[in-house]
Structure 1
Amino acid sequence: MTNTPTGADQVPAEHVIKAIPVRHYGRWVAAVVVVGLLVALIAAFANAKIDWSITGDYLFTSSMLQGAGNTLLISVCAMALGLLLGVVAAVMRLSHNPVTSTVAWGYIWLFRGTPVLVQLLIWWNLALIFPTMFGVSTNDLITPFMAALLGLGINEGAYMAEIVRAGIQSVDEGQTEAAHALGISRAKTMRRIVLPQAMRVIVPPSGNEFINMLKTSSLAYVVTYPELLTKAKDVYTGNLAVMELLFVACFWYLVLTTIFSVGQYYLERHYAKGSSRSLPPTPLQKIKKNLSFGRTR
């Protein structure tokens, strides 16, 4: 019994299509240009009039470490206050009560519409219009930490209110209607059903806001709060190594933002479990993928 040749066997050899991988020359050109610019930038700073030994000497001094710790403290506290105010303001904004919704809108309008630096100065100089508060001298009540906390936290609350509101509105209204049909109260529906589902939308911009808060906390130097920039300023005022100490401050800002950026990524990955078929790659998986950058496909 003879074997019947298949359709592929019947095609002449000279007619068989040979697939040739596409060469991505543009990628290599772009990579060379970027690397060249990066090398030029590094060389410029290496040859600049900067005493890098001073930068290295002050990286881990107690003064700079204390400043980094104070920066982290005020950022976490201000973000916690902002998140609390944001959730309350978002719920008020979505309320059918015209009074509460208008008050929430006014709060967001006022604190988003004025610079945070101006707000910090207002809190710091509050004693000029209110010499005493609650029977206590305002100067004793509004310490540098309190002025920074109120200025940064209340301002952040206005931005968080819009983020939380967008997250709540992203949840299908049928969820709320079904909960009410089952006799679940509005407060419990919001706490147990709506907010957990809204977290997928709330977490990414909230993480970005916290990282921005870490950097914005440098404005607290105007109220003499001893954060990272203030500590660097105190040092370079004495030794006149301005740029060297500013680079020290930049180093610690980068360390803090990098740590929380990684944390934000894994938090987003956690809340993406119920919304995507496959989870986004981890940083290690991204690195492994980027190592195959030059391979043809």
Structure 2
Amino acid sequence: MPFGQIEGTDILALDPRFKRLFAGYVRVERLWTGAVWSEGPAWFPAGRYLVWSDIPNNRMLRWCEESGQVSVFRAPANNSNGNTIDNQGRLVTCEHLTRRVTRTEVDGSIVVVADRWRGKRLNSPNDVVVKSDDSIWFSDPSYGIDSDNEGDRAEPEIDGCHVYRVDASGEVERVVDGMTRPNGLAFSPDERFLYVADTGATHKENGPRHIRRFAVAADGRSLSGGEVFAESTAGLFDGFRVDRDGRLWTSAGDGVHCYDPDGTLIGKILIPEAVANVAFGGAKRNRLFVCGTSSLYSVMLMTNGSRLG
């Protein structure tokens, strides 16, 4: 095992295009361990820290780049799951317990972005992204209401699990239906496409374990298409992010899988536990943070996260 490398980790190139994304000396780092189920990393460039969720422990954690220390960012945290940063640098969070999407203002107050669609409570918002027009897009599977482990067990009020868009006026619009359990989502760098993972295999025998790609219309809100972009070859895809060249860096059962925009699996970052989500961070957004089941990892890349990554 090379010096500095964590046992069970490796950078596995399946295509020459992947090798160019790493310097020869790069190793995967384990930054911290001690969570039950890590999820939803989001990078705050102004403070040089990463916030992520430990869902069953009902807390959000913060890793500080300068000191390398981890502290509790928020507890209780309403069984928070996915997080992102909006165009004004504010935290946007999916909460299982309260079945809502919230925004944390600069003064620390919390504003409800969405908790209902047509008067009915959402299931349990899971992951979230913000578009350049400030609209907020989120997935709403049922994981937070399926049991008491990640929220409160409850019967769904909405017919199924879908993807929603919230515009500046606060209107909540369903933009994707027909999925079993929509999960992670991200826009391509030019916002021409929205990628959405479906982890329906958790609830349906031989159910979906793929990422679909939708074309975004000129109005910036309507979607079409929805063809399968990639099928998981190890466990399930969950959360993912996109780099500046449109490559998808997605969580999987054996680590992080990287897909070229043409749909080719070009490589893997092997992690010794299932991965739930990733985020780009660091001063140049060339550090990939990885939420393993119990631990936080990172690896330096020769590429950068897209503005919306």
Shared fold by TM > 0.5?
A: no
Q: Greater Rg, structure 1 or structure 2?
A: 1
- Shorter-normalised TM-score: what interval? under 0.3
Q: Which structure ranks higher in relative contact order (CA pairs < 8 Å, sequence separation ≥ 6)?
A: 1
Considering fraction of residues, name the structure with more strand.
2
Considering fraction of residues, name the structure with more helix.
1
Structure-1-length-normalised TM-score: 0.23
